[in-house]
Amino acid sequence: MPIEQRCTIVEMTPLNDSTWWMTLEVGKMVEEQGLRAGQFLHVACGEGNLLRRPISVACVLADEPENTAALIFEVKGEGTRWLAGRKVGEQVNVLGPLGNGFSVEERGRYLLVGGGIGVPPLLGYAEAYHKNAVAVLGFRSADRVILAERFRECCKEVYLCTDDGSLGRHGFVDAQVRDILEKEKDFTAILACGPKPMLKSVAKVAAEYGVPCQVSMEERMACGVGACLGCAIQMADGTMKHVCKDGPVFDAREVEWNV
Amino acid sequence: MPIEQRCTIVEMTPLNDSTWWMTLEVGKMVEEQGLRAGQFLHVACGEGNLLRRPISVACVLADEPENTAALIFEVKGEGTRWLAGRKVGEQVNVLGPLGNGFSVEERGRYLLVGGGIGVPPLLGYAEAYHKNAVAVLGFRSADRVILAERFRECCKEVYLCTDDGSLGRHGFVDAQVRDILEKEKDFTAILACGPKPMLKSVAKVAAEYGVPCQVSMEERMACGVGACLGCAIQMADGTMKHVCKDGPVFDAREVEWNV
Amino acid sequence: MSKVELSVELAGVKLKNPIVVASGTFGFGREYGQFYDLSELGGICAKGLTLHRREGNPPPRIAETPMGILNSVGLQNPGVDAFIAEELPELRKHDLAVIANISGNTPEEYGIMCEKLSAAGVDMIEVNISCPNVKAGGLAYGTKPELAAEVTKVAKEHATVPVMVKLSPNVTDITEIARAVADAGADALSLINTLRGMRIDVNTRRPILKMNTGGLSGPAVLPVAVRMVWEVASAVNLPILGMGGVAKGEDAAQLMLAGASAVAVGTACFADPYAPIKVRDELAEIACVQGHGKVSDLTGGVRPW
Amino acid sequence: MSKVELSVELAGVKLKNPIVVASGTFGFGREYGQFYDLSELGGICAKGLTLHRREGNPPPRIAETPMGILNSVGLQNPGVDAFIAEELPELRKHDLAVIANISGNTPEEYGIMCEKLSAAGVDMIEVNISCPNVKAGGLAYGTKPELAAEVTKVAKEHATVPVMVKLSPNVTDITEIARAVADAGADALSLINTLRGMRIDVNTRRPILKMNTGGLSGPAVLPVAVRMVWEVASAVNLPILGMGGVAKGEDAAQLMLAGASAVAVGTACFADPYAPIKVRDELAEIACVQGHGKVSDLTGGVRPW
Ligand SMILES: Cc1cc2nc3c(=O)[nH]c(=O)nc-3n(C[C@H](O)[C@H](O)[C@H](O)COP(=O)(O)OP(=O)(O)OC[C@H]3O[C@@H](n4cnc5c(N)ncnc54)[C@H](O)[C@@H]3O)c2cc1C
Ligand SMILES: Cc1cc2nc3c(=O)[nH]c(=O)nc-3n(C[C@H](O)[C@H](O)[C@H](O)COP(=O)(O)OP(=O)(O)OC[C@H]3O[C@@H](n4cnc5c(N)ncnc54)[C@H](O)[C@@H]3O)c2cc1C
Ligand SMILES: Cc1cc2nc3c(=O)[nH]c(=O)nc-3n(C[C@H](O)[C@H](O)[C@H](O)COP(=O)(O)O)c2cc1C
Ligand SMILES: Cc1cc2nc3c(=O)[nH]c(=O)nc-3n(C[C@H](O)[C@H](O)[C@H](O)COP(=O)(O)O)c2cc1C
Ligand code: FES
Ligand code: FES
């Protein structure tokens, strides 16, 4: 059940020139509402911006620091610019926990596939499956890379790709995913987050190799709780589902990719 | 000539539960533009408020602290509430100097008449005519009184009036003004600032006793510089004048009081 | 808090307080019902219904604008029967007026829905002749006096509960439509629906909304809503549910002074789920400070110059 | 800064950059001319003129609303002759297009003013048929296609410089008026004028504006302006001066993509005297980043879905 809460910022660290790691004291959201990575918080971004901004939870810490959640966000427009201007000790008003997060099993083996600012929501899963998950992380270029070290610390293997070849493999993540699945298909599921074209290609590869694939989707939101029907995405069966309430994570087979 | 400037707040002191003394470093406005009491600054009040707020200059200090101006304002709505939330060291964006201020002679003897938040713009004049001016200051009640000590320090005489009689004389300032003029009419002029009904009564008394009277008027403003024609007030001759450009100080005889 | 009497009447329907939530912004109450008991509200205008289930428009459906939002949801809803079977019983567990909001492709569809909803026992029916997001019918009904009157007449013939007609602000003279609808027998009017607007992503050169244009709501439209409520209240003698940009008690008070008997809060919920409750309490406070015994004393109390 | 070609053409009038200041928000240029050289601007739509001097409406004339303002200035101006004698020569000291904005009580008045202003050598005449703040004529011309066409025709007959007609957004279908005006011979269109709105002081129960209602402008109306410019650009084949809520380069780019050849900045000046210059520079930056050689490449470039 979502609640509205003013959360104190306990950490604010730049990861590159436009991406921030913000740790929030989220209190009861962890203890009582079971907040977890892959869900999102709907963050009020100052008086000048009417709507809240959805930001995924990258990871949750029940202790040290107690009941905190990390949001990692990129400055895109006015809302995220406002957010980037906040300082440790200030408070932000958030709604949460919202959405479902990835659906995982305790002993699963997961292939995590992240692109750009889609990488952070996978962090919590990488940490949860310590030294068991494999990660494929894609970025535009070397200077956009974030969280690579943290993934290396907790994943079995980490493959980096960049669109321009300035670091790691040259090209998109789906090529790397294909190579991995070609060698071994024994993953419980692929968990993917990133831009829609990337998700589409990953979903395609996953389908080819018969590996279940969950994708975390984005859509423009108003309410964030399922009331306004704003954040619709089209399903393969012709119906609409809503990113904030039914997602953001969907079974890749359910999504209509050709729109 | 008005300029736009970001001014650092060097003092922020509450005068009562809703009135603030804010001293701003106004730099070139004093040195180059000759900013003086009775003129006003048009103050940007945060992203949520589209329009600037006009606030009179209470007094100007060319030194100690150097090139500063005091704005004294009451919290009325959202803009002034935002302003009251600013802290020493922060900056506010202002346009100024704007408007004319009272027109005075070096050796004049002035009767200063202020009501409520109309008292501050007279402070600079009280100080300029050290121990020569007489002041009549009216407030709603004892707890609303501001600046009384400062006026006492620099005026020849200070008369306090309160609407409810909780301090000083019981009643409005015009009765006190009448009593003073009854005894002596030898003032160069009355300089008055306050709510319109007060100005109207003071203008009437001044006319009766044949004493010149200047009044500082308020009207809702947009541009503050004379471009939008928003801040019109009606003149006795049927024309319109503009508070921001032709005022805020007018000869009381020119104003049409019966609207 | 204050001792002001909050209850008001809207075309014979008693609301325990004048704050209703606006159609399409509050679903069928389930989501915001997680934050507080819906009995706190005077009423709910449920999400707009059509005769048959609709999936609505393709995404993106939401664009932010200065102090407003554009939406092109396009009446996504489960259909009137599903509402009656699944949503109405849930809403009835709470103590608030339930106002069904309906849109039809033809006057006949409005008639059928009015019959079904009356039989199902909603408290009132809000006839939406003004949704700018549907191609068939929709806006046209709301911009032509004769069509608006026709739909109203059919709705009245088939409804046994009060019928409130929701007006579009996208018209040259809203009093003309209001008069036509009043003459056709409407029991109340609600206004304003959204203003048509557009936002373009200057990088992709694409309109942000997949439908190109959408309906503007939120604080930006408040002054237009106040003006139109005032005009309509001056032109016809029907109770008004005022809405458009209400985010504070003062906003609601403005609409009531302009002539509204009750006020709906919509877009403000998206930023703050508690907005309707806050608006209600601030409104009560305003009435109290002004020394009124009842909030309803505000209605029509503006003193024009 | 950037190497983008900024000049544009509006009905044959060359503007050195596409940023004009909106009528009534910039006086005759004297005030903001204290902040920067007016030659920085592409042009100025001067404060609305009438045949004879007008004192305008009684105060208060300004009310703030969420991201907007209401005004009821009511065409206070010194009259067309005084403009020609005293203001035009001053404006001519700077290198910018001078567009005179006129309002009449009758078509004949429009005709006389067009003659005088053409003879005086303004670069263009903006015919205001849409000012919501004047009782006589004013709004009615802008909401009735036949009247709008009539005024346009008379203006064209008497003007020897291009005639731009300024449209009101307070209409059901702006393309209907646009078409009528285009058919009557207008050389360009400007839009939008202000939306009619109202704000009530809940304590005094008085409308804040002495005229009760006024015209809404500022960022709040931007999405309505973008929509209307897009609609009009799709409906008629005339150059458009787009305006309404522009405060940033992105806003101007939206209006240009929607179909405007040039953009006017109005209300934004009140918060920031430098707004037109900033909008110009940001617009150039956008065009530059997108790799255009000329800002005019933006005009009409929206790719609707
Ligand atoms: C479920 C979900 C989780 C997300 N998680 C993250 C995250 O962890 N880190 C991160 O950096 N970003 C994340 N995003 C994207 C993030 O919400 C947008 O980048 C952000 O809203 C942009 O706001 P702005 O004010 O900076 O941009 P503006 O363009 O000024 O925003 C204008 C409006 O458009 C909306 N908008 C713009 N871009 C997007 C987008 N890509 N998705 C949804 N709405 C958008 C904004 O919310 C706002 O309503 C997530 C989006 C969703 C839907
Ligand atoms: C020339 C001049 C000098 C002034 N000097 C002072 C001063 O020294 N100290 C002080 O406390 N106040 C002064 N005022 C009044 C002050 O400008 C208003 O109290 C203030 O604008 C209210 O803003 P707000 O956001 O708090 O109120 P809101 O009611 O939220 O403001 C809404 C809008 O109304 C305008 N407005 C509201 N009340 C007034 C008013 N009385 N006069 C003009 N505009 C108003 C605001 O500027 C704003 O545009 C002066 C006004 C003028 C015209
Ligand atoms: C997302 C959204 C969906 C809406 N759906 C409907 C609807 O189904 N039927 C209807 O009559 N009005 C609908 N509206 C209009 C609102 O009920 C209301 O008239 C409008 O939003 C103005 O009020 P506000 O500014 O408080 O939101 C919708 C508005 C929004 C923002
Ligand atoms: C104070 C004020 C006065 C105006 N006077 C005129 C006028 O005389 N003639 C006219 O055609 N438009 C007038 N307008 C309308 C503007 O020119 C412009 O169309 C409108 O304000 C929308 O643009 P903006 O949001 O950038 O201000 C006026 C607007 C304002 C705010
Ligand atoms: S954002 Fe409102 S339903 Fe998802
Ligand atoms: S405020 Fe614009 S003319 Fe005075």
**Average pLDDT, rounded, for chain B:** 94
pLDDT at B82 over 80: yes
Residue D272 touches partner B, C-beta closer than 8 Å: yes
Sheet with strand C213-217: strands edge to edge = C62-65, C68-71, C213-217, C195-198
The Cα B58–Cα B114 span in angstroms is 12
Cβ of D75 closer than 6 Å to ligand 4, yes or no, is yes
CA gap A196, A216 in Å, rounded: 9
Ligand 5 atom with least separation from CA of C62: 1
Instruction: Using 50 as the pLDDT threshold, list the residues of chain D that sit under it.
Output: none
Read off the amino acid at residue D33. Answer: G
pLDDT band at B31; cut points 50, 70, 90: confident
Residue ranges in chain C modelled with pLDDT below 50: none
User: Are the C-beta atoms of D98 and D122 separated by less than 8 Å?
Assistant: yes
Angle at D111 between CA D110 and CA D112, to 5 degrees: 95
Contacts of C27 in chain A (CB under 8 A): 226-229
Task: Report the neighbours of B using a cutoff of 3 or more CB pairs below 8 angstroms.
Answer: A, D
Q: Which residue has the tokens 């009560």?
A: C284
Ligand 6 pocket (Cβ < 6 Å) reads B 221-224, 226-231, 242, 244-245
The two most distant CA atoms of chain A are separated, in Å, by: 52
Residues in chain B: 259
What does the pLDDT read at residue D140?
73
**How far does the CA of residue B240 sit from the closest CA of chain A (Å)?**
36
Instruction: Name which residue leads in pLDDT, D296 or A107.
Output: D296
* C212 to D305: CB separation less than 8 angstroms, yes or no: yes
Report d(CA A143, CA A123) in Å as an integer. Answer: 19
Q: Which secondary structure element, helix H or strand E, spans residue A151, and what is its range? A: helix A148-154
CA-based nearest residue in chain B for residue A50: B48
Q: Nearest C-alpha of chain A: how many angstroms from C159?
A: 27
Q: Best substitution site from D61, D64, D202, D210 to test ligand 2's pocket, by max atoms within 8 Å of Cβ?
A: D64
pLDDT in tens, A213-240: 999 999 999 999 999 999 999 999 999 9
Q: What is the largest CA-CA distance in chain C?
A: 56
Q: Is C53 exposed, middle or buried (0-12, 13-18, 19+ CB in 10 A)?
A: middle
B238 contact A CB<8A = no
**Residues of B whose CB is below 8 A from D273:** 4, 95, 225
Structure tokens at C5: 């009497």
pLDDT in tens, D126-177: 999 976 555 555 567 888 999 999 999 999 999 999 999 999 999 999 999 9
Per-residue CA distances from C231 to A8, A110, C225, C237, D203 (Å): 47, 63, 10, 11, 21
pLDDT of residue C140: 73
Ligand with the closest atom to the CA of B54: 2
Separation CA A138–CA A169 (nearest Å): 9
pLDDT score for A102: 95
Of A27-41, A113-127, A195-209, the poorest mean pLDDT is in A27-41
In angstroms, the CA D303 to CA C200 distance is 9
Q: Separation of B44 CA from ligand 4 center, angstroms?
A: 21
| Euclidean distance between CA atoms B144 and B161, whole angstroms | 11
Q: Give the pLDDT score at D132.
A: 57
For B58, B115, B121, B138, B194, the CA distances from B161, given in Å and listed in that order, are 20, 9, 18, 5, 13
Chain D, 282 to 301: residues with Cβ < 8 Å from chain C are 286, 290, 301
Supply the residues of C annotated as catalytic: 131
Please tell me the distance from the alpha carbon of residue C190 to that of residue C240, in angstroms, as a whole number: 6
Q: Three-state DSSP class for C304?
A: coil
* Nearest ligand, measured from the Cα of D219: 4
- Measured between beta carbons, the chain D residues lying within 8 angstroms of C205 are 257, 301-303
- Say which residue the tokens 């410019």 belong to: D229
The full DSSP string for chain D is: ----B--EEETTEEESSSEEEPTTSSTTSTTGGGTS-GGGSSEEEPSPB-SS-B--PPSP-EEEETTEEEE-----B--HHHIIIIIHHHHHTSSSEEEEEE--SSHHHHHHHHHHHHHHT-SEEEEE---TT-TTTTHHHHH-HHHHHHHHHHHHHH-SS-EEEEPPS-SS-HHHHHHHHHHTT-SEEEE--PEEEE-EETTTTEESSTTSEEEEESGGGHHHHHHHHHHHHHH--S-EEEESS--SHHHHHHHHHHT-SEEEE-THHHH-TTHHHHHHHHHHHHHHHTT-SBGGGGTT-----
Kindly report the number of other CB atoms within 10 A of residue C305's CB atom.
Answer: 10
- The CA-atom distances, in angstroms, between A34 and each of A60, A87, A125 are 10, 26, 15
Q: Give the per-residue pLDDT at C192.
A: 98
Instruction: State whether C286 and D222 contact (CB < 8 Å).
Output: no
**Protein residue with least CA distance to atom 20, ligand 2:** B53
Whether C273 and C26 have beta carbons less than 8 Å apart is answered as no
The stretch A67-78 carries a mean pLDDT of 95
pLDDT recorded at residue C134: 56
Instruction: Tell me the two tokens of residue A79.
Output: 């809302």
What does the pLDDT look like over C24-71, one tens digit per residue?
999 999 999 999 999 999 999 999 999 999 999 999 999 999 999 999
Cα-based torsion angle of the residue sequence A131, A132, A136, A137 in order, rounded to the nearest 10 degrees: -40
Residues of B in contact with A47 (CB under 8 A): 46-48
Alpha helices, H only, C51-93? 80-82, 88-91
Establish if C303 touches chain D: CB-CB under 8 angstroms.
yes
Q: Which of C199, C204, C302 sits opposite D254 (nearest CB)?
A: C199
Percent of chain B with pLDDT over 70: 100
Contact between A46 and B46 using a beta-carbon 8 Å cutoff: no
Residue B212 has pLDDT above 60, yes or no: yes
List the single residue in D63, D73, D219 with the smallest CB-CB distance to B229.
D73
Residue A259 is predicted with a pLDDT of 86
SS3 state of residue C180 = helix
Of A40, A53, A225, A246, the one to substitute when testing ligand 5's pocket (max ligand atoms within 8 A of C-beta) is: A225
Could you tell me if A77 lies within 8 Å of chain B, comparing CB atoms?
A: no
Alpha helices by DSSP H, B107-239? 120-128, 148-154, 173-183, 196-209
CB-closest option in C60, C73, C267 to A219? C60
Q: Which helix (H) or strand (E) holds B15?
A: strand B3-16
**Cα gap B5→A38, rounded to integer Å:** 46
What CA–CA distance (Å, rounded) separates C101 from C24? 9
pTM passes above 0.90: yes
Q: How is B51-115 classified by DSSP, letter by letter?
A: S-EEEEEEEEESTTTTTEEEEEEE--SHHHHHHHT--TT-EEEEEEEES------TT--EEEEEE
List CB contacts of C65: < 8 A, sequence separation 6 or more. C197, C199, C216, C218, C220, D219, D222, D223
Distance from CA of D65 to the nearest CA of C (A): 7
